[in-house]
Amino acid sequence: MDRAVNSLNIIFAGPDAGSFSEAADSLAEAGHKVQCVSNVFKALTANTRSPADLTVIDASGLDDQMLEVFEALKEAAPECVLLAAVTSAARSRSARVLNFGSDAIIGLPVSGDEIEALLEKRRQAAKVEKASVDDKFEWLGEFAGGVAHNINNPLTTVVGYLQILRSQAEDSDQMSDILSVMLRECDRISEIVKRLLLFSGSNNVALRPVDVNRAVEAALLVAGTKDDNDNVEVKRSYQPGLPAVMGDEEALKLACENIALNARKAMRNGGTLSVETAQDGPGRVTVEFTDSGPSIPEENLHKIFEPFYDGGNSGGPGLGLAASYGIIKAHGGTIRAKNNKDKGATFLIELPAGT
């Protein structure tokens, strides 16, 4: 078997070590970190301490009550691939095992080649899914940019004429009040257009050295003034001496502000927002926002950066996170979201450090 490109942490659990020995030896030889334990409860303990990438459990002799451990394992290590190994005589139990949270069924004794084939299939599926998501965002960005430009031009004309009419109306006139309301609504449209342009990457980014810690702190202060939720505690952990990021400071502040606002609005009953900056290797700077609010529904994780998606937090047009996505992408960075193990969500921004 070829040497593994990415070493995985793999746990085998079962009373008969011999049923895993060929696979364990083969995977260890391929460069993976392999651990064998005697029962599912030890596998659960190991995953609780340090979540594995793959856990293989001998499910042939487990009763329904013990099969519930699969659900506990999924809670302890949600990103872990969980395989149930059963003998040919126990294949009739496969459906029940899958219902308890197993990702797939494999034969017992376990074959290292079979596990590698399953992992490769999942890796290829993940690549296809990522490519389709990237294509989707590229198309959405082009569409949003086109819509924004087509709205912006006539909107500028409308605002100009409204301002002329407003200047000619008497302050006490009812028409003056109506025109003022119309101008405010035009301002709202203008803000939506601005965020669409940010998402699409159509706005030119002025590249200058940016102090990330300063930009993040300014964003948190602005987010605090825009949100009246006093029950949110903000914890800061800024790595000193971070390398500068080449970018547009105002745009980066807006990207961080949107994420902070989203987190604050998700914690209506109070909670903690932890913000951390760090240097990830010589060429990357990271900003991590972790909140203790409710988790993002799994079915929505892949679309939270889409324009007009609103998970129920903002009450606005749902463009804040989309704008953040566009800004970070325009800076050559990445932004992603994931649910925390216990509760809440984490948004991670990665940006290239300036040279």
What is the per-residue pLDDT across 206-231, written as a single tens digit (0 to 9) for each? Answer: 678 999 999 999 999 999 888 877 88
- Which one has a higher pLDDT value, 170 or 38? 38
For the CA atoms of 210, 214, 215, 218, the dihedral, rounded to the nearest 10 degrees, stands at -150
Backbone phi, then psi, for 34, in 5-degree steps? -115, 135
Whether the per-residue pLDDT at 300 is higher than 70: the answer is yes
Tell me the mean pLDDT in the region 286-296: 92
pLDDT digits (tens, 9 = 90+) for 243-278: 999 988 888 998 999 999 999 988 988 899 999 999
**Predicted pLDDT of residue 251:** 86
**Predicted pLDDT of residue 350:** 94
**Predicted pLDDT of residue 301:** 79
**Predicted pLDDT of residue 73:** 86
**Predicted pLDDT of residue 355:** 59
- For the chain, give the longest Cα–Cα distance: 92
Task: Produce one character per residue of 191-208: b if its CB has 16 or more CB atoms within 10 Å, e if not.
Answer: ebbbbbbbbbbbbebeee
**Predicted pLDDT of residue 247:** 87
For the CA atoms of 225, 227, 228, 232, the dihedral, rounded to the nearest 10 degrees, stands at -100
Distance CA 77, CA 70 (A): 10
DSSP 88: G
Name the packing angle between helices 174-200 and 320-330 (round to 10°). 40
| Sequence-separated (6 or more) residues with CB below 8 Å from residue 254 | 198, 219, 323, 324, 327
pLDDT digits (tens, 9 = 90+) for 63-117: 777 777 888 888 888 778 888 888 877 666 666 666 667 788 888 888 888 888 8
Distance CA 302, CA 300 (A): 6
Q: Which domains does the chain have, with CATH numbers?
A: 9-110 (3.40.50.2300), 127-200 (1.10.287), 208-352 (3.30.565.10)
**Predicted pLDDT of residue 98:** 66
Distance CA 2, CA 129 (A): 25
pLDDT digits (tens, 9 = 90+) for 112-162: 888 888 888 877 776 665 555 566 666 666 776 777 778 888 988 999 999
Distance CA 264, CA 273 (A): 7
Distance CA 22, CA 111 (A): 7
Q: Which helix (H) or strand (E) holds 347?
A: strand 345-352
Q: Which residue has the tokens 């060929």?
A: 22
Angle ∠(270,275,278) on CA atoms, nearest 5? 165
Q: How many CB atoms lie within 10 A of CB 294?
A: 18
Whether the per-residue pLDDT at 336 is higher than 70: the answer is yes
- Which one has a higher pLDDT value, 88 or 295? 295
Strands 54-58 and 9-13: parallel
**Residue 255 in contact with residue 210, Cβ under 8 Å?**
no
**Predicted pLDDT of residue 4:** 42
**Predicted pLDDT of residue 141:** 66
**Predicted pLDDT of residue 111:** 87
How much of the chain exceeds pLDDT 70, in percent? 82
**Predicted pLDDT of residue 205:** 59
